[in-house]
Structure 1
Amino acid sequence: MSIMRFHSFMLLLIIFFFFFFKLTTSQSPISLISFCQNSSVSKPLTNSYKTNVKNLLSWMNTISSTGQESNHTSFGDKKTHDVVYGKYDCRGDIPEYFCQFCVNNAAREISQRCPNSVSAVIFYDMCIIRYTDNNFFGKIVLTPSFNITGTKFIKDSKEFERAEYFMRRLIRNATEANRSWGTGEFDWNDSEKRYGLVQCAGDLDIDVCGECLEDLIDMVSKCCRSKETWAIVAPSCGIKFDDKMFYQLSQQTGSSSMPNPAKQEGSSDKKTLIISLISVLVTVALLSCCVYYSWRRNWLCRGELLLRTIPRAFHDHVQREDSLNGVLQTIPLIVIQQSTNWFSESTKLGEGGFGSVYKGTLPDGTEIAAKRLAETSGQGLEEFKNEVIFIAKLQHRNLVKLLGCCFEENEKILVYEYMPNSSLDFHLFKKENQNQLDWKLRLSIINGIARGLLYLHEDSRLRVIHRDLKASNVLLDDEMNPKISDFGLARKFEKGQSQTETKRVMGTYGYMAPEYAMAGLFSVKSDIFSFGVLILEIIYGKRNGEFFLSEHRQSLLLHTWKLWCEGKSLELIDPILKKSYRESEVIKCIQIGLLCVQEDAADRPTVSTVVLMLGSDGIALPTPKRPAFSVGRVTNEDSTSKSYHDNSINELTVTRLIPR
C-alpha cells in the first residue's frame, strides 16, 4: 500500500513540475554558499543591532514595489554603535521581477542561517546580499570569496591564457562602456564557443570596478587555471567563464559577440525549446530519484550541520564511498581549499609521516584541521579509509572529533575539529612550552588519555587497538583536555579475540611493545605498553628515544626501573615541576607506568585496571617486573623524522615486514 502511495505521490510531483516549468520562463534562484560571522565576547550582539538587521532585511524585501534607486543603505545610530550597513546586487542579465524574487529568497535564508551574526553574506546564482557593522560602500571587498570549477581539465596552459585574455578584454569593454557588468561570446575553435560574464557591485565606481575584476582574474590563476570552466565570486565583484550559454540574452545584455548572419531566428527558438524540454525532463528525473532515495534512506540526514554549510551547487561533486555510506559526511574539495587558503604555508599546522595538516574555517565559522594525505605517503587508501571509518563511529570527549572527509581529484583529506593548543609533544618536549604543564595538568592529561583508551578497548561499540599511541597523537583542546587522534593504524578486534598477528609491523620507535615489534603480535596490551611509555615521558619531560641518546645511554624504561629498585623514583620527575607535584601521586604514576611496560604482555594491566588505579588513593598496587628492552633503537643519523609540530628525535613511524 505504501508503494502505491509513493507512486501516486511521484506522479503528482511530475505533473506539478511539468506545469511549473511550462508556466515560468525563469529558473529558480539557487543558493550557493553563505558566510556568517558571529559576535564575540568582547563585542556582543545587542538587541538594537538585531532590530536594525531585521529592518534592513525588510527593506530588501521591498526593492521592486517601492521603486527604490539605491541598492545599499544603513540602519541605526552611529552614536550608539549599532549601525548595520547592507546591500543587495542582482546579475545584470536578469529582469527586475526576478531580481526581487532572488533577493527575497536570500533575505529569508540569511536570517535563518545567520540569526545571531554581526555580519553575513549569502551568494545565490542570480543575486547576493550582505550586511556588516562596518561601512563598506564603494570599497573593494574580496573576502569571503568562493569559486566553482568544471570537471574537465585543460589540455595545455595556453588554453587558460586564451581564457584569461578573453576575460580581460571583456572587463575592458564593460568598463570603457561605463557599465558595471557585461557578457561575451568567444569563438574558441571551429566548432566550440566560450561564454563569459563579469559584474561588479552597484556601489562601486567604474574605475574601482575594473580593479576588483582584475584582482579576481589574478585569483583565478591560482585556483582554477587547470580547469576548462570556472567562476569566482566575491562580495564586490564576480566573473564566470563557461562552455555553455548561461546568461540571458536581451537588448540590455552587454555582449561582446558579433552577430552571426548564418543563424536563423527560428532555429534558435527551436534549439532553446529543445534544451528547455531536455532540462525539464532531466530535472524531474533527478528530483524523482532524490525524493525516492530520501524516502528510502531518510536516516542519512544525520549530516545536517555540514549540509547546511556546504553549498548546494557543490553537491554534484560530492563523492561518497559505499563503505562510508551513512557513516560520515563528505565535504567538497572546493570548500576545504577555500577554508585553508588553498593549503597555503601560512595555514599549515604541521607535517607528519602521512601528510600535512592545515588550519581552516568552514563557511559557518567552524574552525577545522584538514589532514591532507601526501601522494608519497606510506599510508595508502585502505589505511586512510580505515581511519575515516573508525573515527566516524567513535565518539568520546577524549577522542578527536572527525567532521568530514574528501576523496576528490586524487585528494584524500580528513577534516577534524581544530585543537587550538596543538599536540602534547609540542608542550612536553619543548623547553619554552614546558612551563604551561604543571603537575596538576599533567596528571589530568594522563587520566584523560586513560579514559579515551578505556573507551576504545572496552566501552565503544567497536573494540579498537590504536597501535600508534604517542605524544604527538594526543591533541589538546582550548581547555588542555587530551584527545587521542590519528587512527590510520588502528585495528578492530572481535568479541572474545585477545590478540592477532600481522606481517606488516607499523608503529613508532620507542612506543612499540616488544612482542609487536619482534613477532608482529598485537593486542590491547600493545596499547597499554605505549601508554606506559607515555606516562613516564609526561613525568620526565623527555622522549624515550631522546633519553637513550643522552648521557644515560639506556632507555627511559630501564632507567626508571633502576631508580625504582633503588628507591629514588622522585629523581625522574621533570625539574620544571619543582614544588607543584604531590609525592604520592608521582610515585603512583611511575609505578603504573612500570606496570604497563612490563616485558610479558600478560603481566600488564588492562586499561580498566589502570583507570581504577589512577582514580584510587588507597588501593595497593602490584609490584612491577623488569620492563622490556627498548625497541627500535636508532643512531643519530637515523633520527631525522618530522612530527606534526616539530622536528623530533626518535619519532620515526616505521613499517617492517615480518618474514614467513
Structure 2
Amino acid sequence: MGTNLLHLSSPSLVFLIIAISGLFGHTTKAIPNFLDRECEPENKTSTNATYQANLNILLSLLASNSTAPNGFYNLSIGSEAPNIVYGLFLCRGDVRFDICQDCVAAARENLLKYCPKKKVGTAYYDECMLRFSNEYIFSTVTVDVGIALWDELSVPRNDFKQAVVETVNQTAAQAASGSAKKFATKEAKLTQINETLYTLAQCTPDLSSADCWNCLQICIPSLHMQNKGSRVLYPSCTVRFELYPFYFGSLTAPAPAPAFPPPPVAVHAPPPSRPTSGEQRISTALMAILVPITVSALLFTAFPPPS
C-alpha cells in the first residue's frame, strides 16, 4: 500500500543507528561544587550498629528523593532513641532537578566517606546542602555552627556597603515572606562603580516565615560587606551576594512591602587572623560577643549622587 519498510540488514547501518541512539540517550552527571562539611568531634562518635544502619538507609532514601518538586525533602528512620536518625536536603532554589539530584548524591557519598560513625553531619555545596542528626531538626532553626566565604578583593566604599546591606535585607525579607520555597534573588544596579549586585537568600522550607527571617538576620552580620562577594551558610539558611550572576536568571519578581521591615544590621569587624583562603568558621557564640560591641545603626538609603 505504498509503505516503505526499512530492513536492517546492513551491519554498518545497524551500527550507525546504535551509535546515534547512544549519542542522544547519553547523559552526563553534573559535578557539584563542594564548599565544606561539618562532622561531630571525634569524641562524639556512635558505635550503635542499628543507628549506623538507619543512617545508611536514610542517606540512600534522601538521594532517591532528590527530584522533589521544591528541592527539599526530609525524613527520619527508626522509632526511638538512640536508634532514630533525622535527615534532610535542600537544593538551591534555582537549580534544575538533575543538578539537584547529582548534588545530593555527591553529598551523600561525601558524608558516608568523611563522617563515618558520626551522630551529626552536614555537607555544603554550591547547589545543595545535606545534613543528618540524631536529634530532631525539622522546622527548627539551627545556627550553632556555620561557615563564611568571601572574595579576597574589596570595594572600600561606604556607599557599596550600604547598598549591600539594603539589598541583602530586602532579599531576606522576600525569601521569608514569599514563596513556599523560602527562596529569593534580587539585583541592584550600582551606578557609582558601574556594576550589578546579585543577592540570594534561602531557608529550609519547613521553617515558618518568622523563623526564616530570624535565621537570615543571624547570617547577615557575618557577611564581609566590603568585599566583592561573600556568603554565609548555616544548616537552616544561607545568604550570599556577588558582583556577577551566580544563579540561573532573575527568578523573583519585585518584592511587595516586606512583612519583616529590615532593622539596622550589626556589622562586625573581620576576625583578628583573617584566613587567606577566604573561608571562616563562624558560630553564634562568637557573634554574641562581637555584635553588641561593634553594632552600628545603618540608614537604608539610596546611593548619594556622585561627587
Task: Report the TM-score, using the length of structure 2 for normalisation.
Answer: 0.70
CA contact (8 A) 2:148 2:233 kept: yes
CA contact (8 A) 2:198 2:245 kept: yes
Q: Distance in 1 between matches of 2:287 and 2:218?
A: 19
Paired letter, 2:126:
D
- Once the two structures are superposed, the pairs formed by residues 405-444 of structure 1 within 5 Å of their partners are none
CA contact (8 A) 2:185 2:252 kept: yes
Alignment CA distance shift 1:338-1:70 (3 Å): closer
Alignment CA distance shift 1:102-1:67 (3 Å): same
Q: Does 2:186 match 1:243? A: no
- Once the two structures are superposed, the pairs formed by residues 389-538 of structure 1 within 5 Å of their partners are none
**Match of residue 209, structure 2, among 206, 211, 221:** 206
* Count of aligned positions: 244
Q: Does 2:32 match 1:29? A: yes
Alignment CA distance shift 1:227-1:139 (3 Å): same
Q: Does 2:16 match 1:73? A: no
SS at match of 2:235: coil
Alignment CA distance shift 1:226-1:185 (3 Å): closer
| Higher share in strand | 2
Q: Larger RCO: Structure 1 or Structure 2 (Cα < 8 Å, ≥ 6 residues apart)?
A: 2
Alignment CA distance shift 1:90-1:68 (3 Å): closer
CA contact (8 A) 2:70 2:93 kept: no
Q: Distance in 1 between matches of 2:85 and 2:227?
A: 39
Q: Distance in 2 between matches of 1:24 and 1:235?
A: 31
Aligned match of 1:312: none
Counting aligned pairs with the same residue, the percent is 22
Q: Distance in 1 between matches of 2:82 and 2:137?
A: 16
Per-residue deviation at 1:185?
1.1
CA contact (8 A) 1:186 1:194 kept: yes
Aligned match of 1:50: 52
Per-residue deviation at 1:67?
7.6
Alignment CA distance shift 1:60-1:218 (3 Å): same
Q: Distance in 1 between matches of 2:138 and 2:229?
A: 31
| Higher share in helix | 1
Aligned match of 1:254: 252
Aligned match of 2:263: none
- 5+ residue gaps, structure 2: 1-25, 256-274, 290-307
Q: Distance in 2 between matches of 1:241 and 1:166?
A: 9
Per-residue deviation at 1:152?
1.5
Q: Distance in 2 between matches of 1:106 and 1:173?
A: 28
Per-residue deviation at 1:203?
1.7
How big is each residue's C-alpha offset from its partner over 1:46-65, in whole Å with a ceiling of 9 and x where there is no partner?
Answer: 00110011011110121146
Paired letter, 1:116:
K
How big is each residue's C-alpha offset from its partner over 1:371-415, in whole Å with a ceiling of 9 and x where there is no partner?
Answer: xxxxxxxxxxxxxxxxxxxxxxxxxxxxxxxxxxxxxxxxxxxxx
Aligned match of 1:88: 89
Alignment CA distance shift 1:187-1:112 (3 Å): same
CA contact (8 A) 1:170 1:256 kept: no
Per-residue deviation at 1:175?
3.0
Per-residue deviation at 1:219?
2.6
- Once the two structures are superposed, the pairs formed by residues 64-463 of structure 1 within 5 Å of their partners are 64=66, 71-78=73-80, 80-179=81-180, 180-189=182-191, 191-220=194-223, 224-249=224-249, 253-256=251-254, 332-335=276-279, 337-338=280-281
How big is each residue's C-alpha offset from its partner over 1:205-227, in whole Å with a ceiling of 9 and x where there is no partner?
Answer: 2221111112211232xxx1332
SS at match of 2:36: strand
Q: Distance in 2 between matches of 1:172 and 1:206?
A: 9
CA contact (8 A) 2:176 2:213 kept: yes
Paired letter, 1:254:
T
Q: Distance in 2 between matches of 1:246 and 1:338?
A: 22
- Once the two structures are superposed, the pairs formed by residues 493-642 of structure 1 within 5 Å of their partners are none
Alignment CA distance shift 1:141-1:340 (3 Å): closer
CA contact (8 A) 2:143 2:284 kept: no
Q: Distance in 1 between matches of 2:276 and 2:27?
A: 32
Q: Distance in 1 between matches of 2:188 and 2:111?
A: 36
Q: Distance in 2 between matches of 1:118 and 1:215?
A: 25
Per-residue deviation at 1:202?
2.2
Q: Distance in 2 between matches of 1:92 and 1:121?
A: 19
CA contact (8 A) 1:76 1:82 kept: yes
SS at match of 2:64: coil
Q: Distance in 2 between matches of 1:240 and 1:67?
A: 23
CA contact (8 A) 2:46 2:118 kept: no
Alignment CA distance shift 1:127-1:69 (3 Å): closer
Q: Distance in 2 between matches of 1:149 and 1:26?
A: 28
Paired letter, 1:219:
S
Paired letter, 1:188:
L
Per-residue deviation at 1:173?
2.6
Per-residue deviation at 1:25?
9.9
Q: Distance in 1 between matches of 2:95 and 2:236?
A: 18
